Amino acid sequence: MRHVVPWLLALSAALPGQTLLRDIDPRPGFSSGPESVVRSGSRAFFVANDGVNGRELWTSDGTPGGTNLAVNFVPGPGSSSPGRLVAVQGGVVFETPYLSPGSLYFSDGTGPGTYPLTSPEIFASAQASAGGDRSTLYFVASTNYGSLGELYAWNIGGQPHRVTNFHQAAPGSRVLTLLTVQGERAWFTMFTASGVVQLFVYEPGALRPIGFPAGVAVRQLQRGEVAEVNGKLYFPNFEALTGVEPWVADPVAGTARMLGDVNPGTAFSYPNGFVGLGADVVFVATTPATGYELFKYQPNTPAPVLVADTYPGPTDGVVYVWPMVASGSNLFFVGYNPNTGQELWRSDGTAAGTSIVRDVDPGTGWGYGGGRVTPVCDNGSVLFQGTEPVHGSEMWITDGTAAGTRRLFDLVPGAGSGLLGNQVSDGWATLLGTTWFFLGTTAATGTEPFVFDAGTLQTPCTTCPAPGCPGTNGVPRLTAVGPPRLGNVSFACRVDDARATTVAIFLFDGPGTPTALPGGCTLFTSLAAVTQWRPTDGLGQATLGLPIPNAQWLLGVALRMQWAVLDPNGAYAQMLSFSNGCHLVIGN
């Protein structure tokens, strides 16, 4: 208590509601039509039309002054229409199919920081993917000197380099589809000159084919059909005796196998929507007895099992696959039942733990309004578009319980809708520090970017957007121990990978702007931050206890935090190394 009360008292100001961030196209009756919101680092990137410069790339830090046109490829009202935005290393990679087909660009949100990745002799196939906003970008491209399609890798500050060489090793072969990327690992299919599809996995320095049982080949998989969960690739595949069933590929063993014949015999179960839920994998599949429902595979068990028949009998109970998302210990999905209509459901992977979160539009009305379901800091809560007659379609939040499901605000008072299903089919909301950025619609503005303070959600949240800078043992790593929840007297902040047997200084204060320091370091807090110090042990670890009282006035309190470590090998003046910088919001 003694460590937290001073700054909590200073940060307990009232929280504002949702506000228009910027009316990008201010002309009466017009909208900028923003879409494809992607967060990278501490900024949001999206595509919009201000009525003057056409559809171009925009960026925002969550403030009106920090919401600006990133780059204008076509001066005047013409549009370059950037598409397929991929977050990578604090910026985005995108294509401009109407301006220069086959070209990929990177942008950090500024004109000088926007440049092409591909040269005229490299024609990208727009299959770009990265495993996180600071990881390697992979993409598939061909060249004008004969290669049909190869896998390329790129890191900021460098040049794209080819990591496969099929056109020389196996003439006529080509990379077919880049399926998914996790961290530095890329999964893709290769098409041989003889017409056979093969599955490969690439990690820096290692390219491995995945072996299948005799007589079985991999299908021509699509990107949305597969998912890497706990280091393994899950996907639908065909085998003559079983039809299309769930399979798994192990990159270490270099082999693939069927998980089980969900729809016995040669009939297909058409598995899709693989999502990790703890150590398990949950997916949607169909059988004549159940229709499309949730199934679960637990490692080291004989086969997948039915989780729950949400609409008993052969009628489909799971409506869509793409909104499925895990948050905390729950999987959220869109389900249908004749008694409740189409609503948001949740499952913990058991029949008893699978239920509708709330009948938002009571009775047979459809309370799920469309669009993606967005996790809130992976703390077990999600944002979604709820629809009911009195308030129209607006933003809702749920923790998976009826009592914890509520409308956040009424952007358009009355029966009008502040969210439109077709505008949120792609990225539509993202957390920027302690500010939520989302796309809303009003009669006065049309569809434009809005913001609200994360504290209004009243859910605990820790995000760490700012990178650290290295010292003796690399970059120190800040970790929150437990959720920042009211009454959590065990809450603490730990530093790992610091210099051993030295002093680590914990810095924390309210929201603000980070400061760039020499040596590539960032001071995430202010110079006036509250400090506490702890000695690091022989492993370079230290922990500071920050017990949180069970006091309602703390709900929504936000702060920044970071460790600074005394280190003669530190990147800052050979004196200090800094951990990653994190935002924290106290919730229920």
Element (H, E) at 8: helix 5-10
Residues 6+ apart with CB under 8 A from 19: 450, 451, 452
Beta bridge partners of 236: 246
First to last CA, the chain: 18
Spatial distance between the Cα atoms of 81 and 328, rounded to a whole number of angstroms = 36
Q: Give residue 57's identity as a one-letter amino acid code.
A: L
Contact 506, 544 (CB under 8 A): yes
CA-based nearest residue to 172, from 154, 152, 153, 190 = 190
**What is residue 130's predicted lDDT score, i.e. its pLDDT?**
64
Q: Which residues of 398-436 are buried (b: 16+ CB within 10 A; e: fewer)?
A: bbbeeebbeebbbbbeeeebbbbeebbebbbbbbbbbbb
**What is residue 426's predicted lDDT score, i.e. its pLDDT?**
64
Contact 244, 220 (CB under 8 A): no
Burial class (CB in 10 A: 0-12, 13-18, 19+), 231: exposed
CATH architecture of 460-585: Sandwich (2.60)
Q: For residue 213, what are its two tokens?
A: 């049982």
**What is residue 4's predicted lDDT score, i.e. its pLDDT?**
44
Q: Where are the beta strands (DSSP E) in 380-460?
A: 381-388, 392-398, 406-407, 429-432, 435-442, 446-453
**What is residue 504's predicted lDDT score, i.e. its pLDDT?**
97
Contact 133, 44 (CB under 8 A): no
**What is residue 132's predicted lDDT score, i.e. its pLDDT?**
64
- Alpha helices by DSSP H, 33-169: 166-169
Q: Which residues of 78-98 are buried (b: 16+ CB within 10 A; e: fewer)?
A: ebbbbebbbbbbbbbbbbbee
DSSP state at residue 224: G
Query: What are the pLDDT tens digits along the chain (588 aa)?
Result: 334 444 455 444 444 468 999 999 999 989 999 998 999 888 999 999 999 999 999 999 999 999 999 999 888 888 989 988 888 888 998 988 777 766 888 999 998 999 888 765 566 655 667 666 667 888 888 775 555 688 888 888 788 888 888 877 777 888 888 999 988 899 999 988 888 899 999 998 899 999 999 999 999 898 889 999 999 999 999 999 999 999 999 999 999 999 999 999 999 999 999 999 999 999 999 999 999 999 999 998 999 999 999 999 999 999 887 779 999 899 999 999 999 999 999 999 999 999 999 999 999 999 998 888 889 886 789 999 999 999 999 999 999 999 999 998 888 898 888 876 544 446 788 988 888 999 999 999 999 999 998 888 888 888 888 889 999 999 999 999 988 989 999 999 999 999 999 999 999 888 888 898 999 899 999 888 888 999 999 999 999 999 999 988 888 888 899 999 999 999 999 999 999 999 888 988
CA-based nearest residue to 104, from 83, 89, 118, 87 = 118
